[in-house]
Chains A and B, each alone.
Chain A
Amino acid sequence: MEFAELIKTPRVDGVVLRRPFMPTVEGTLCLTGHHLILSSRQDNTEELWLLHANIDSTEKRFVGSLGTIIVKCKDLRVIQLDIPGMEECLNIASSIEALSTLDSVSLMYPFFYRPLFEVIEDGWQSFVPEESFKDLESMTDEWRLSEVNKDFSVCPSYPSLLTVPRDIDDESLCKAASFRHGGRFPVLSYYHKKNGMVIMRAAQPLTGTNGRRCKEDEKLINATLCAGKRGYIIDTRTIAVAQQAKARGGGFEQEANYPQWRRIHKAIERSNVLQDSLIKLVEACNDQSHSMDRWLSKLEASNWQSNVKEILTTACLAAQCIDREGASVLVHGTEGTDSTLQVTSLAQIILDPACRTIRGFEVLIEREWLQAGHPFQQRCAQSAYSNGKLRSEAPVFLLFLDCVWQILRQFPCSFQFNENLLIMLFEHAYASQFGTFLGNCVAERGKLQLSQKTVSLWSWVNRPQELERFLNPLYEPNNLVIWPSVAPQSLLLWEGVFLRWNRSTKCLDEAYQEMVHIIEYNKELQNKVNSLRRQLAQLETEDSPLQTP
């Protein structure tokens, strides 16, 4: 196996593992092709199994012949390994470095992972576009499924099947695609059953400096409007940024050419800014100094919470257009693969109760993120401890999850899932044994043959044993549109992710257990009362049928 040459020292004894809020463990450190393992060979002590892919960065320190490696993980945890012997330490450090930065996707763990569970439902087959379209067809006949992109030539980052207005033919789609960044022409994202309004998404139009226009593009989006109705275009960029984009061939829809549309600009930050925000936030959270002012000013300077607020506000705006104004919406930013997806997917969580179930949320992620071509592999290559030479890393998906958590916190009874599901998705987007988040778009995943060579995350999540952990005991289906508050006071730091490793969770876990206990006990009690009632009623009818008036 090719990893062997990267592993100079496969095992070292007498290594001490230090983690905050956990007892130190002494044991044997082993390196395999995909894992860093620390085992104390004692019962009752937790072993460490760390995917190399989860390692974001490492630091070495030496005091005499004792070496220390500080391992910073993509899930934000920081662990310390004390390794006796300078040479061993250096070897281990360089192996970790090499193994955690493998360039080739096909060397990643998902291609080697064999599940220890029986795959009952193959997650790769769980979400097929045709199924969603059937649902849509039952509500309206104004849309069709187009195969124009079946060989990914019209738009490399779109899936092969796309939902488009019925009256627009494939030829027009091709023309519209040539007018949109990356070929991402406007497609259906969400159909609001209540009033038939829709959310569409696209990339920016390529108007350039001389105001190019495209009749097919105009026709395409106008086709989604009812007679006499106006729609909204939500450009996730500020007007200034959108103006600048013209110089590079991009731009925005001119009022003159889109008279039925009203354009609103918002200010969701671009990916490199978001990455910087994450790095600063995590740095602030790991600062152990005891100054309140320092903490608050670092939190503010990170801008993370501002980003959360802006994204949620924009999503609320889109939802308001649909549900309050009764108007359809087109959302885009620049590429239409980042802020656009944040907005369209969050708007659906606000509007559509189905997205608040576990299954519905999986469908949403599959449809609005994976198939819509969010470049997971690029965005999640590095996390908060990345230093220097960033390419296109950005916590776009993490911000989306954070926003979902904010809504969940404000509507704790309206979601079938709990915070654990969101945290799990964050972890797996950055490092996983499953193939779901590999690749950047459907076409790439096809080339990698992920569905044949790797296991889907959903195959694992949807097992009843696993699902249990993600169920919200407070859930009561709620068919309403849920409007979150976006006041700064209402948006909290997501402690479950950002303070996860900086606090003891014992008390919070106990509280959660207690809550589950109360709910479970109540259910049992009600069941028992009901069964007693039945018995009593039965006794009555058997013994004294005449007694009942």
Chain B
Amino acid sequence: MEHHLIRRVEYVKLLNTYPEKKSALGTLYLTATHLIYVEQTNNNTRTETWVLHHHIMSVEKLPLTASGCPLLICCKTFQLLHLLFQRERDCQDVFQSLLRLSQPVKEEELYAFLYNPHQNEVDRRQGWEFISVANDFSRMGLSNEYWEISHLNKNYEICSTYPSILGLPKNASVAVVTGSAKFRSRGRLPVLSYYHKDTKAALCRCSQPLSGLTSRCVEDEQMLQAISQANSNCPFIYVVDTRPKLNAMANRAAGKGYENEDNYSNIRFQFQGIENIHVMRNSLQKLLEVCSMKSPSMSDYLTGLENSGWLRHIKSVMDAGVFLAKAVCDERASVLVHCSDGWDRTAQVCSLACILLDPYYRTIKGLMVLIEKEWISFGHKFSHRCGHLDTDPKEVSPVFTQFLECVWQLSEQLPCVFEFNERYLIEIHNQVYACQYGNFIGNCQKERLDVRLHEKTFSLWPYLLKNQHLYRNPLYRRSLESTVLRPSTLPLHFKFWCGMYNHYDRGMHPKQSVLDQLLSLTQKQVEGERTMTELQRQLAVADGVLPDPSGPINTPAEQDGPSEKTPTAPVVQSNGSCAPLINGDAEEAGPGAEKCNEKEGADPGATEHDLTSSEDKPVSVETEHSKEEEQESS
């Protein structure tokens, strides 16, 4: 990938938010796709900061100060760049370039349409076919006695924002399906989201009914009936409206609304109280203000966290997800979920319930499938919600981010049940906004087809799979996988996700990472096992080839480890060909291979207190200190 240089500005200061005192001096480059900041340091090391233009949410010129012209860049990845230019003109130029670069108007301007990860057309096609919703239906056991895969929507005529294949109850006639679609907002009729084999209960999703104050629709009533009949284990179905009751009532006046229990037989109707996209957008805004406060007191921080309402919203999504999972597995009841359009809150709670119910979705690949199924194919409006293009800012909302956070909250409570670690969730989040791959461009399947996305861009999933070693959770235990997750939803079990919202404030994070430590150990383990097998082979060879009067030194069997986890590979018996003996080969991961975590030390700036006396010591003093300490450590 070439990076056409658009602009280069020298002597730009990058101010650090936390710890505050440190700032860097360097050169700023703008390319067609990235903003690159190269820090000049004394000891010949280059620190580069790359920011994708698509990641930039806002650029703001702050009032002129004595030390220069400040520019504040806020990113969708929650990175904040506080730059200080020496000359006003440079600042203005960069400001205007960034405004233009960070807000593409047309889809074709998005990075994904230029980006090629060195793949040919075959790779590209395979990449797109790698995750298949149809396969997931078969995994759930569809089609079966009660449910079938329907192609009624293959031309997107019944519902333009739904996928082309739908899971429908077998005994719902075409008339019922089309009739029900007409009675649902934007034609988003009740369809299968997840089929729970063990209980035969189904998780279904749709949009709100066009019930208004008095309307009803026989086909829609029959549709719900059909869903109910598909599960003989429970005489009723839950209908869950994820909105607060007040919002749903307001919709009735506009000819929409919610199901009247009198018209539908055997439904149990339930509100869940998740707020709408505007409330969520404002809440995140407030949360980010808290995150970027300069040396807040504990009280400022906690009050800000409370006032943002963010964790309250996260909890409301989690509560709804847990409600669905319990209904399915404890009550063996099918559930129909909707909100208004059924593409935001509905996607959140259905996908969360899937994770609670089915261990498959807790794997690296399973999460891809889940996102592809519940979010991409069911028409979560990624382009609008993420603000990929310069469109209506009122459409932007962190709905998907909230889903990822719910998964993270689960992983904090239940550290052994996910195959992936926190970095996987953060990487997915960054990729959603990056538009480097095509997956999250467009608002629904039809739109993607229309712009021939699969021919013009590449899929993210193969890239993530290739790097999956980075995203593994070393504590993952498959033995636990069959269990339905039962997280606590007490408020005190929800935490602020520092790794996401303060991701770039490295000073705030633990200075040593248990995850890195364990990942490097599991890596060493693989190497160690390989070395052991190889050594055993050599020993066997030596044994067989060299006649030794004192008999075998050691039979390979005796070398077998006690571990049940790792079967030792069978020892290759000498076949007569003379393998040379190799000296204890130092290159192969020996015990002293490498020490991780040499870098924790000594960043006094990380403690926020300043000595009032030490009015800005020269930076070099501090550098000297840390060098000294590094020497000590070695």
Contacts and interface: CB of A to CB of B under 8 A. Distances in A.
A305 B302 contact: yes
B300 to A, nearest CB: 8
B600 A320 contact: no
B127 interface: no
Interface in A460-512: 474, 476, 478-493, 499, 502-504, 507-508, 510-511
B473 to A, nearest CB: 10
A485 B493 contact: no
Contacts of A474: 514, 517
B613 interface: yes
Contact of A480 (B494, B498, B508, B633): B633
B469 interface: no
A488 B297 CA distance: 7
Interface in B571-617: 581, 583-584, 590-591, 595, 597, 600-604, 606-609, 611-614
Given A474-B514, A537-B584, A293 B306 contact: yes
Given A480-B600, A487-B508, A522-B525, A292 B477 contact: no
B146 interface: no
B524 interface: yes
B542 interface: yes
Contact of A294 (B301, B491, B581, B609): B491
Contacts of A264: 611-612
A320 to B, nearest CB: 6
Interface residues of A, number: 85
Interface in B490-549: 490-496, 498, 502, 505, 507-514, 517-518, 521-522, 524-525, 528-529, 531-532, 535-536, 538-539, 542, 546, 548
Contact of A309 (B298, B559, B562, B611): B298
Contact of B601 (A297, A481, A493, A499): A481
The binding surface of chain A is classed by DSSP as helix
Given A292-B312, A536-B535, A515 B600 contact: no
B561 interface: yes
A535 interface: yes
B606 A515 contact: no
B312 A486 contact: no
Given A412-B510, A487-B18, A511-B416, A518 B474 contact: yes
A489 B606 contact: no
A539 B553 CA distance: 8
B41 interface: no
B3 interface: no
A486 B609 contact: yes
B564 to A, nearest CB: 10
B133 interface: no
The binding surface of chain B is classed by DSSP as loop
Contacts of A526: 524, 528, 591
B296 interface: yes
A191 interface: no
Contact of A525 (B312, B509, B528, B614): B528
Contacts of B302: 296, 299-300, 305, 488
A296 B305 contact: yes
A530 interface: yes
B632 interface: yes
A528 B559 contact: yes
A214 interface: no
Contacts of B295: 487
A421 to B, nearest CB: 18
A525 B539 contact: no
Interface string B286-330: 000001000111111111011001011001000000000000000
Interface stretch (A74-82, A283-291, A332-340): A283-291
Given A519-B521, A536-B535, A547-B581, A502 B490 contact: yes
Nearest to B530: A529
A49 interface: no
A539 to B, nearest CB: 5
Given A292-B315, A518-B474, A480 B584 contact: no
Interface string A394-433: 0000000000000001111110000000000000000000
Contacts of B488: 503-504
Contacts of B531: 529
A286 to B, nearest CB: 10
Given A295-B491, A479-B632, A480-B602, A532 B539 contact: yes
A525 B529 contact: yes
B548 A543 contact: yes
Nearest to B529: A525
A485 to B, nearest CB: 5
A485 B554 contact: no
A539 B583 CA distance: 11
B291 A489 contact: yes
30 contacts: A292-B315, A295-B492, A300-B298, A411-B510, A412-B514, A474-B517, A478-B633, A480-B629, A483-B601, A483-B606, A485-B508, A486-B608, A488-B301, A489-B301, A489-B508, A490-B508, A499-B492, A502-B492, A507-B415, A518-B474, A519-B521, A524-B562, A525-B525, A525-B532, A528-B561, A529-B532, A529-B590, A536-B584, A540-B542, A548-B583
Nearest first, the 7 closest Cβ-Cβ pairs linking A and B are A488-B301, A295-B491, A480-B601, A300-B302, A296-B306, A316-B607, A511-B415
Given A300-B298, A320-B607, A526-B591, 13 more contacts: A313-B607, A316-B607, A324-B625, A410-B511, A414-B600, A481-B629, A490-B498, A502-B490, A521-B566, A528-B532, A532-B536, A532-B539, A535-B539
Interface of A: 262, 264, 284-285, 288, 290-297, 299-300, 303, 305-306, 308-309, 313, 316-317, 320-321, 323-325, 409-414, 474, 476, 478-493, 499, 502-504, 507-508, 510-511, 514-515, 518-519, 521-522, 524-526, 528-530, 532-533, 535-540, 542-544, 547-548
